[in-house]
Amino acid sequence: MLKNKILHVRLSEEDAHRWFKLAKAQGVTSSVLSRRLIQTFLNDHSQTENFRELEPIEPTKSTSRKILKIRLTENEYFNFSKVSKQLCMSNQECLVRVVRAFLMNGYVISENESEAVKLYVQELRKIGVNLNQIAKRINEAAAVEVSSDLVRAALSEIHAVKEKIRIQENQIENFLKQTRGRSKIDLQI
């Protein structure tokens, strides 16, 4: 039976605010973002024995602190502990450095990028509405005698919508490639 393990990160109020803002921009809770961070860190660095040191990052000057709790499965906790030991630091210290590196590098989708994705999604929804309208007209016309001109017009509309979808697909794919290019957590800060 896998039990959840909890890791704690003590962050400055400013860092905690940035963390929650990043989670909100991603459309997830802070605990989901935390787990994704740990999983990304483990995927990026647990497969190799050649670790680079995590450089200490100065916390922001704020004196008040917030605690960020991260729940992990036993397996994730074990792997994270293994990586921490290989880096010669405690789990707490390693986690603090990983979170701060994550905040400094900012590989999370920014608000601007998030807005761009939202625009792409809206555009795709509009295209979907167009397709539904075309399908409705074709289905209604099927009950009545259909002229070849109507069928050709519907097919040309479908091809135009299909082309719009392909363009949107390419734009989203290019955007994600740019984002993924920054997705690895860099340990040399």
Indicate the residue type of 86. Answer: Q
Same domain, 144 and 116: yes
Q: What is the pLDDT of residues 147-178, one digit of tens each?
A: 777 777 878 888 888 888 888 878 777 776 67
Picking from 72, 105, 138, the residue at the C-terminal end of a domain is 105
Contact of 155 with 163, CB cutoff 8 Å: no
With vertex at residue 80, the alpha carbon angle to CA 53 and CA 183, rounded to the nearest 5 degrees, is 65
Q: What is the pLDDT of residues 96-145, one digit of tens each?
A: 777 777 776 655 555 566 677 778 778 888 888 888 888 887 777 766 66
pTM exceeding the 0.95 threshold for the entire prediction:
no
The domain of 69 spans: 5-105
Q: What is the pLDDT of residues 121-131, one digit of tens each?
A: 788 888 888 88
- Considering its fold, how many domains does the chain have in total? 2
